[in-house]
Every structure is written in C-alpha cells, then in structure tokens.
Structure 1
C-alpha cells in the first residue's frame, strides 16, 4: 500500500471505523428489503475501488488538488456564464413489475434534482436563521438525454428486465454481461441506475476519479422520484421525496458526507459546521456537537429523512462547480450534446434508382431550386468522388464510379441530407 493510497484513505475518511455505514433494515416479501434508516454505500464502494485500483488514489488526489486551487483562487473558477446542463440517462433494471418504475416517476426525480440543486425547493424556507445566508444555488441543472451516444433520438430512460432479484454495491448493475446495463459515455452523461438494492441501502455513488465504466449513481427503485410530484409511483415511506438522488449526485459532484466520515471529521468544505457523526430522522435544531453552534443536519449530505434535508451550502456549491472549471474532472459535460435533440430526418431529397448504373435522379421538395442544389458523392472512407457530375437539373451522373457503395449528399441551403446508394 503506497503512501498516496493511505493519504487518500485519510482524506476521504476511510481510515476510520465510520466506513461501516449504520444501516437498519428488515426483509419484506421475497427479496425486497425495507429500509428503516438511511444508508449510503458510497464510501464502502470507494474503499473497494481504491483497494482494487491503487492508481485511483492518484487520480482523486489530483482532482482534490485542482479543487483546492480553484477554491483558493476565484480567477480559476468557471468563466462561462449560465447554468451547467447535465444530460441524464436512467437505467431502470427490474425483476418484478413493481420495480419497473414509470417514466413519469423518473421525471419526478429529475424535477427534484433541479429544484434542490438550484435552491428552488419550497422547503428551503425552513433553513434555520443561522444557516439561511449559506443556503446556495449550485447552478447545476439536469435534463433527461434527448440523444444517445450514437446520435440517435432517445427518451433518456432505458427499461431492462433482469433475472437478478437484488443488487449489491459490486457494480454488477452497471454491467450488461452481469445482468445490468452498461453506462453511457460518462464524460457526456450522468448515468443513474434505478434497481432493487439489497442490504437496506438507499443508494451509492462513484466519486470523480473512478473508472468511466462504473461512473454514476445507483438508487433503490422505490427511493427514486417523489411521491409529492407523482403520487402513482412506487415508493418507500420516509424516503419518497427524491432526496436520496440529491444526496448521491452530491457525491458524484465530489461532496463528502457532512460529518467527514469520522468523529468530528472534515468534509473539505469550510462553511459546514464540524459535527460528530451522521444525523437520522428529523433532529430538532440546534443539535450541538463538536463544540459547534448546531449541526447542519438539514444539509443534503447528512443522513436525515427526505423531508428534513433541504440545502447545500455556498462552500459545497463552489466545490461542485470546481469540477467544471478548466482542467476539472467533469468538464466534458459542458460540451455534451446529450441534452439536445437530434435534427429530425427530413425528406429534403431522395435519389433513384438505387442501385444505379449511370444516372441518379433527385427528387426535391416542391419549391426547391434544383439548379442551386449542392451535390457531392463520397466513398465509405469519406473521400469525395470528383468524377461525379451534377447537371443542375436533378440528375447526377455516376457512370464513371467503380462498382460499390457510396454516400450522396444534397444541400439546398436550408439543410443537408445524406443517402447511401449502390453503383452497379
């Protein structure tokens, strides 16, 4: 074990007994578990990843060093104006019909994320006076993907039936060969998996710096979404307002548990009070520990019930946004087209006959000027076939082409359409 690995364990609180999350659960019918106390597996997963891949500690140390540079020098912060738009793909893995949550329930979760990360949640008004000035808009917004990694249109929700009755934190849910569903490009999308988690877990996340193939957040299907926004869904009482995803996406954006996963630990955020350990249920403020003036138990990164967590701090917002500054670990999301719908296919032009031996005839929409159409032909390697001639009257002479497959592009100024054809 290298010194760097040991340092990373200390930095992330893994060197303490707090690694073992305090989960309480009962088993219901079949393989379903009923959670009676919030439990997050993010730190357990991180410990396993660091043990399996010591190089991850180095990557995470570099991400932390970058965050500290950005936080200490405002000139290094993200300069682009506007909100960070994060395309989201949700992989719904189900073994029973109840686990196959609807797209409406999925959308209710996206709505909660957008309220919580933009400080648009109605319960933000409950923030104690002591912390009211610290409650922050993280300037991050989420949208279900409109195009997949290949450029095709998508709803951003994948429903996949699986033979697996219950999932653990071993990331099998993220692997199609193990019964799960593979992640989309993690540099362009936030991957969320909704499934039947076992061990009483509500969810777990991967911190920046982990492997791309497992990057994302896993959430118990019945803690995914909000009963308040979509009452017809399937929910677990107490964890039915969508705050599990808010908590776990906070980890995905480089936030630690607010107590630092150690007794009076350090969460790497200056404006969150040091507190002794996690809070559960709905604590009465102030709950004083570690000589503070009251735990920030209503912070999304504590362990309280959904109805009793409702704020990120200014420092947490700055830490998350450091990921999007130049050189940040999640800057790829800034240029992702995943949230933009692809242009719909048009009938701008068609060419016939196909296959063709000598002439391709163009069929253009009514009103299109065939004389001004731009026509080019390329082979499958992308090389333009200069020997092809267009007569300006809707005919493309292809007789000089060798036999094979080609692409024809036709543009009229408003759009360009590509069609494949065969030369006989």
Structure 2
C-alpha cells in the first residue's frame, strides 16, 4: 500500500512502552512448558521492534537512514541491484531443545531451506493460485539460501547446531540468542542469516529483527514445530496448519525489511507497508479467506501475500515492489550488503598433510612460532586466534615472519587458524 511516510518510526517509538508491555504479556514464564494452542498466526516482530526502540532510541535513527536509502534506490532504477544475479545467503540454524521432540532433525531443517528457496525464487507451485488482478505482480526475489559450510573461524560445518537447554519455553526477550541465558549466540550477522528453532510460548509462531537492530540479536526465531515442511519431510514434528514452512518465509521477509501488508494499523486503513504495488488493506487476514475480501475500498486484499497472516497453504507470493524493497538491502551501501561477500557458503579446503602448517610450543606462554613446510613464505599465511565461542582475539597479531605474541591472552584454550587463500587449517592450543 503506497502511503509512504517517515514519521512511522517516530510514531512507533512513541508507542514503544505500550507495545513493549504487550510483548511482555505475550512472553511465557521461562522454565514452564506452554500448552497454549495455536488458533491463528501470531508474529511477535512488531512488539519486539517496539521494545528495542524503547531500549535503544538510536535504533530509530539507524532504521530511518536505511529507509531513506531504500526510497532513494527505489526512485532511481540505475542505483538498484539487478536481480539478474542471485544473492546467496549463508544460513546457520540453531536448534535449541529441552525435549526430544524439540530437537528437530537435520532433514526437517533442510526441508525449511528448500521452502525458502522456492518461495523467494518463485519456484513454489502454488503461486499460480494468485488471483488474476495480482498475477502479474508475483515476483522472483532471486535470493538463494544455503546452509553454511564454514564457521566464522573458518572450520567446516553443516550449518546446523543442536544444543540442549534447561529452558523449556522461550519468549520474545531474545534469551534464545544468548549462550549465557541458555540459548546460543548469533554468528556474525553481516555474513550469516541466523535462524533459531525453539519452543516459543503463548501461541507465537515466530519473530524477526529488522535491519538496523543490534548485531548480537540479528536474525529470526521460529517455533520448532513450524520449522520445515511436512510436504517435503513427513517424518518431522509439526503444528497443523503451519506445517509448510511459510512462517520462516514470513519472518525472513521482516529480516529483509518487509512490513506486514496491512501496515499494522488495526484496521484503520491509514497504515503503510511502504510498498507501492500492494493494495491498501484494513487488517490482517486469518485462515484461508475467499477472494475477494474487500477492505479500504480496494479490489480485494492481497491475502495470499507472505506478509499477511493467513495459513501456510494460503500464502504463496511476494510482489514486485516487495522484491525491490528487499533487494535494496544488497545494493551498494545497503544494510545487508556484507552477505554478498560472505565466505560462509563455501566449504573450506583443508591443507594437505604434506604441506600443512603447525605451530609450537603448545602450551605456550609468550610466543607461538609457525612450523612451515620447507621453502614456504611466512608472509603468505594469514594467522588468527579465536576463543572457543568463535570470538577473534584481536590482541594477538601475526607478524608475517612466522611468529605471534600471545602473552596478552588470558589463560585458557583457543583455536588458531592458519590459511593461504581458500585453504585453512584449524588447531587448538593452550595459553599458560
């Protein structure tokens, strides 16, 4: 609906305390299993945004800058990213489980990635159900999602983390994204899309963070039983009606800067999703409404759009305008442009044993010295040190001549990565 205005963030910021109270109302008590049935789609993204704006007023300014750049790109086709090339987004999935049922399988996770790729590339068979008046607007966003093949430290990975937790039910307070609170820390949000699959409480299916929020909480949280597709992997654990993977499609849309299609105005016909080709719509639609459902004097709500609240089987398209809005994030200077150069989707090549580099002594107190193959040029090697959580220890610098001083490191265990181009070895050492 094309009623663009930059005061939206200011209005949301002013309403943040009230919406934050709503978010707290939605939050379950940590440690108690929720039994609340899911009777209709519920997304906590806007309540989470309100709480974030209340806690960090500077976030509104960051989001306003992203919106200004987005509108500038949309107004000038020469500045837009060409969708002729596919954006490849490395994905890491954090599966947090308290029961065996919550520990969804890798196959169920892979079924979700398959759904995302279909929905964002117009490969889903059901897009053909789009009513004739909107059929010409169905868009291929040209974004591909791949499970990460290397970690932020350069190690090989499947892109799926399974982690047991004592927390049986999670709220929208982002604890699931924090290892110290029982969750699992985000990987570098400039290089990966972080997805968390867990047991969300109070009937929530998921929530996401818009561009401009904190990097430590950037990503998407999905109810474990709404993660994946029964149609692609029937042996998984699913919630009926929300078992085709469209919750992730909806929430990743938020992560890519899309708003709810009705503009979150509670039916007032005054809100905006800041997209020109989606019709003005009075409020969210639930279930599978027959077309046309007319509101705000339109010709029928675009209820089949992924950013409405319909059942999984009844949402099956993004519009051209939504595609342009998402792709603005990947244009020069865009808020998610770092994903274009992420190595996360490329598997590391391990150094052959005959030419592998190592180091000594181990344990070490002051200096690590590389043990390089005969004739090797020490300057060609990139050497970095990380703690066991993957955080780079920047106080350690490789001198390019075969040594690095580790005396400033606290005592403990660390990883050292030694690489030449695409080849990387990863070894553990102990700082005395």
* TM-score grouping bracket, smaller chain normalisation: 0.7 to 0.9
Give the Cα–Cα distance (whole angstroms) in 2 for the partners of residues 420 and 304 of structure 1.
49
Contact 1:16 1:261 in 2 (8 A): no
The alignment partner of 1:258 has SS state of coil
1:159-170 map, 5 Å: 159-170=162-173
Q: Give deviations 1:285-342, integer Å, cap 9, x for gaps.
A: 0001000000000000000000000000000000000000111100000000000000
Q: Which residue of 1 aligns with 2:233?
A: 230
Please state how far the C-alpha of 1:344 moved relative to its aligned partner. Answer: 2.8
Structure of greater Rg: 1
Give the Cα–Cα distance (whole angstroms) in 1 for the partners of residues 8 and 43 of structure 2.
23
The alignment partner of 1:66 has SS state of helix
Matched residue pairs, number? 380
Q: Per the alignment, do residues 352 and 221 of structure 1 end up closer, same or farther by CA in structure 2, a change over 3 Å counting?
A: closer
1:376 aligns with 2:377: yes
Please state how far the C-alpha of 1:14 moved relative to its aligned partner. Answer: 5.8
Please state how far the C-alpha of 1:37 moved relative to its aligned partner. Answer: 0.5
Please state how far the C-alpha of 1:8 moved relative to its aligned partner. Answer: 1.0
Q: Give deviations 1:78-100, integer Å, cap 9, x for gaps.
A: 25851000000000000000000
Please state how far the C-alpha of 1:382 moved relative to its aligned partner. Answer: 2.7
1:146 aligns with 2:149: yes
1:336 aligns with 2:342: yes
1:48-127 map, 5 Å: 48-79=51-82, 81-127=84-130
Give the Cα–Cα distance (whole angstroms) in 1 for the partners of residues 358 and 98 of structure 2.
48
Of 257, 268, 284, which aligns to 2:290?
A: 284
Q: Which residue of 2 aligns with 1:43?
A: 46
The alignment partner of 2:353 has SS state of coil
The alignment partner of 1:142 has SS state of strand
1:217 aligns with 2:220: yes
Please state how far the C-alpha of 1:345 moved relative to its aligned partner. Answer: 3.5
The alignment partner of 2:212 has SS state of coil
Give the Cα–Cα distance (whole angstroms) in 1 for the partners of residues 323 and 100 of structure 2.
38
Contact 2:360 2:371 in 1 (8 A): no
Unmatched 5+ stretches in structure 2: 362-369, 384-396, 404-415
The alignment partner of 2:194 has SS state of strand
Q: Which residue of 1 aligns with 2:410?
A: none
Give the Cα–Cα distance (whole angstroms) in 2 for the partners of residues 416 and 306 of structure 1.
42
Please state how far the C-alpha of 1:420 moved relative to its aligned partner. Answer: 11
The alignment partner of 1:37 has SS state of coil
Give the Cα–Cα distance (whole angstroms) in 2 for the partners of residues 96 and 204 of structure 1.
22
Please state how far the C-alpha of 1:346 moved relative to its aligned partner. Answer: 1.6
Q: Which residue of 1 aligns with 2:11?
A: 10
Give the Cα–Cα distance (whole angstroms) in 2 for the partners of residues 85 and 227 of structure 1.
25
The alignment partner of 2:47 has SS state of helix
Contact 1:325 1:331 in 2 (8 A): yes
Contact 2:119 2:249 in 1 (8 A): yes
Q: Give deviations 1:172-211, integer Å, cap 9, x for gaps.
A: 0000000000000000000000000001000000000000
Root-mean-square deviation (Å): 3.6
Q: Give deviations 1:31-60, integer Å, cap 9, x for gaps.
A: 343211100000000000000000000000
Q: Which residue of 1 aligns with 2:277?
A: 271
1:307-326 map, 5 Å: 307-326=313-332
Give the Cα–Cα distance (whole angstroms) in 2 for the partners of residues 176 and 353 of structure 1.
31
Q: Per the alignment, do residues 152 and 420 of structure 1 end up closer, same or farther by CA in structure 2, a change over 3 Å counting?
A: closer
